[in-house]
Structure 1
Amino acid sequence: MKTSHQTTIIILLGAAFLGGCATIPQNDQGKQPGQSAKSVDPYENTNRVFYDITDAIDRHVMEPVANAYLGYVPSPLQRSIGNFYDNLSYPNVALNAFLQGKGQQGIEDTMRFTLNSTIGLFGLFDVATRMGFKQNDEDFGQTLGVWGVDTGSYLFVPLHGPSSARDVTNIPFSAATNVLFLVSSATIFAPIGVLGAIDKRARLANAMKIRDQAALDPYLFVREASLQQRKHQVFDGKPPIESYDDLSEDGDAELAEVAPVPVISVQNNPARDRRADRVSSLQIDPIKMTLDLPQASSLPTDLDPDPTRSRRTDRAP
């Protein structure tokens, strides 16, 4: 049994790596005010090599398979497969909620997992959401961030995706808390793990298109989006406003408060609060990939498209 579990976790990590080939930011402190890119990413040259290798594998292997999956598997079945894999990894969410001191959320996450595993037929159907138990996103990297552990150096893990010296600890932690590792053998897990990697890549298809179309340097796009997203997650969507030292010409330091860096948010639930009258942040959903912009009705209607008209009116008797 011990050997079987060792083999299973190796395959589990491998499947996670395959799924990570297409990782689009899924930090706490991230880049601190005044911190240079070099101090955030001291291993950039090595990280770029790992990124290029992972991206090549994704484009030649994972992307064609994921496109076939999207093209031939019916949408309801895709949704059930996604629910199944989300449920398998949900004990990790519940456990880390407790570790972060979120007792009420931990209880609700445990109830969600129990309901979906039983009434929802092993997670194929998300009955818990309909019963009021929302899906949360916690992991051991976030837990360490809540405990005060700094993000550390940015890392791009080969075949896994963006991470950091702190967040990389979640890879073995999430593998050990996955239901498949606890109850199945390597023979059973191998095909299920591969299908999970394909499902994950398929759910990121739109995000990958956004990255390719919007980013002049995809590596920097992924790095900055990942750091901002992790910060967003650690602070539960309410990161502190950063302040920067604005050095004047005479050398005196003046503290200037600036708006937070726009956050690229990863959410499984596409529901949005669109009541904001103006854009306060940029949110990108890896599943739906929509930009939260104000509706046309919320824009000022008294703007004159002809700036010369007022001058002509002033000259009129």
Structure 2
Amino acid sequence: MTQWGKGALGVAAGLMLAGCASQGNVAANPQDPWEGFNRKVFAFNQVLDRYAIKPAAQGYNFITPQPVQKGVGNFFSNLGEVSTILNSALQWKWANAGVASGRFLMNTTLGLAGFLDPATDFGLTEHEEDFGQTLAAWGIGEGPYVVLPLLGGRTLRHAGGLPVDWYTDPVTYVEEDSTRYGIRALDVINYRASVLDEEALIQGDRYSFLRDTYLQRRRFEVNDGETGKDPFATDDFDFESGDFAE
């Protein structure tokens, strides 16, 4: 899915609050020194998901055929190729920039604005890149884990890249507010519907489980799929956000 939420404002507010919360907060997990603050924001996001986002996703899932949902997901993934092209170039990954460009052109034209994915059938495999990954390639450390209101769990480096991702998202430039917000809402609801069944895989403490699986997956993405030393005991889990049961 594309980046969503009120990017720069949400990130700035979340990081400012996290900085304040870090003072005097002793955490057992060195990856999560702001755990006390993070759990409070996590609880807020969970309430929002439980009473608003999840019910909307369940209703959407009930009335929307799976092929349509897949097409909507393809559409937003295709928009994400714009960010991948830019960030691949910034990381000097010219081969991936070329693949992403080819995918975007082919899926936008032959794929009916991205609702279909003929590029994959032609062997052009998607490999997403965002500005957080670019910062990693430039040698910026990942920093502590932080949970942002609405946006969910991120490393500090990932959160710092969100404003750039926001401004490289084509949806940002839709002039009509109601249309832009509607597209954002569809993106969130469609993605949430696509992972409803995965909620049953959550084990133990929900916060810790989602945090650890996010960090594991994020490091996998930053390392371009090369597995390193696994600091967690959990299995791979396909969550994009650390808060919602995605």
Query: What TM-score comes out, normalization by structure 2 length?
Result: 0.82
Alpha-carbon distance between aligned partners in 2 of 1:231 and 1:37, rounded to the nearest angstrom? 21
Alpha-carbon distance between aligned partners in 2 of 1:237 and 1:198, rounded to the nearest angstrom? 28
Verify the 8 A CA contact 1:83 1:126 in the aligned structure 2. Answer: yes
Greater Rg by CA: 1
Q: Which residue of 2 aligns with 1:148?
A: 139
2:154 counterpart of 1:163: yes
2:210 to 213, 222, 236: 222
Give 1:1-40 correspondences, 5 Å limit. Answer: 13-14=5-6, 37-40=28-31
Query: What TM-score comes out, normalization by structure 1 length?
Result: 0.64
Alpha-carbon distance between aligned partners in 2 of 1:160 and 1:70, rounded to the nearest angstrom? 22
Give 1:1-317 correspondences, 5 Å limit. Answer: 13-14=5-6, 37-211=28-202, 214=203, 216-241=204-229, 260-261=230-231, 282-285=235-238
Verify the 8 A CA contact 2:89 2:97 in the aligned structure 1. Answer: yes
Q: CA RMSD in A?
A: 2.4
Give, as a single letter, the amino acid of the residue that structure 1 aligns with 2:226: K
Alpha-carbon distance between aligned partners in 1 of 2:159 and 2:206, rounded to the nearest angstrom? 21
Offset at 1:55?
0.5
Alpha-carbon distance between aligned partners in 2 of 1:72 and 1:141, rounded to the nearest angstrom? 36
Alpha-carbon distance between aligned partners in 2 of 1:181 and 1:188, rounded to the nearest angstrom? 11
Task: Describe the shift of the 1:137–1:263 C-alpha distance in structure 2 as closer, same or farther (beyond 3 A).
Answer: farther
Verify the 8 A CA contact 1:95 1:106 in the aligned structure 2. Answer: yes
In proportion to residue count, which structure has more helix? 2
Residue identity (%): 31
Verify the 8 A CA contact 1:63 1:201 in the aligned structure 2. Answer: yes
Offset at 1:48?
0.3
The Cα offsets for residues 149-192 of structure 1, whole Å up to 9 and x where unpaired, read as 11111101111111021110232122111112235432321211
1:162 counterpart SS class: strand
